[in-house]
A = this chain, B = another copy of it.
Amino acid sequence: MQILKTIDAIRQVRWAELSLSWGLVPTMGFLHAGHLSLVERACQENDRVGVSIFVNPTQFNDAQDLEVYPRDMDRDLALLKEAGADLVWTPEPETVYPSGYQSYVEVEEVTTLLEGAARPGHFRGVTTVVAKLFNVFQPNRAYFGQKDAQQVAVIKQMVRDLNFNLDIVVCPIARDHDGLALSSRNSNLSPIAREQATCLYRALNAAQSAFAQGERQAESLRFIMIDLIASTPLARLDYVSVADPISLVELEEITDHALLSMAVFVDNTRLIDNVIIGE
């Protein structure tokens, strides 16, 4: 497994084997089983797999959040080698955003809702760095987790609109034994907060059950989720949503399918989770 820092080095490797298919897994490091499932899927579907590890400053709207974001490069590299990655890009911030940097990719409507409303500028940072990663690796496929459901919707919109010549592959959410969605941020939870953090999964399950039993009013599903979060002492709801999975526009009635999603502060750690219901 090659570990490279410069853009030219990545391109040399990629272009030396132009006819091989490449999969790209963009990450911010501190890898968990969710990331590794993306790498394994990419290994199955491509001749070569590249992974980027870069804690992207432009997608943090909160400097404090950037500072406490967990990092463990040695462990990450060992895990990626084990998972079968061929190439890892670990650029310095100055390589990604050199002096005088001034270009951004903006996706408009679908970024204004949910995470976008809660975290101003977040998605501009995401789309910009992902566009750069696409141009550096020029992969045939890029792999993202369903965990960040809006990120998936935003990146698919960007790829469609800007005609990036690649496929976006979305992989299911990896969960802990008790249902908590795996996240690098989980490491910031105290033991008691970790216990209560299952409230997101339980709330989504409760709404999903109501849907299975015939409930089609989006507002009823929202109330079910809000109630469950409200009854969790350390939890404070940021938002809850029952929306169209592509446009993310809130629904009144669910006719075919819907994305249920939420963001919840558990103690001081902001967690997100989601599920797609229906056909």
Contact = CB atoms under 8 A, between A and B. Distances in A.
A19 B105 CA distance: 29
Interface stretch (A21-29, A157-165, A219-227): A157-165
Interface stretch (A96-104, A167-175, A198-206, A263-271): A96-104
A174 to B, nearest CB: 29
Nearest to A112: B102
Interface stretch (A32-40, A131-139, A179-187): A131-139
Nearest to A154: B103
Given A102-B110, A108-B102, A162 B18 contact: no
B102 A162 contact: no
Interface in A67-107: 98, 100-107
A162 B105 contact: yes
Contact of A104 (B101, B106, B164, B247): B106
Each complex incorporates copies of this chain amounting to 2
A110 B161 CA distance: 24
B103 A157 contact: yes
B11 A103 contact: no
Interface string A7-24: 100010000001100000
A165 B18 contact: no
Interface of A: 7, 11, 18-19, 98, 100-110, 127-128, 131-132, 135-136, 138, 157-158, 160-165, 247
29 contacts: A11-B165, A18-B18, A98-B160, A101-B161, A102-B107, A102-B108, A102-B110, A102-B161, A103-B105, A103-B106, A103-B107, A103-B127, A103-B161, A103-B162, A104-B106, A104-B108, A105-B105, A105-B106, A105-B162, A106-B106, A128-B162, A131-B162, A132-B163, A135-B162, A135-B164, A135-B165, A136-B163, A136-B165, A138-B165
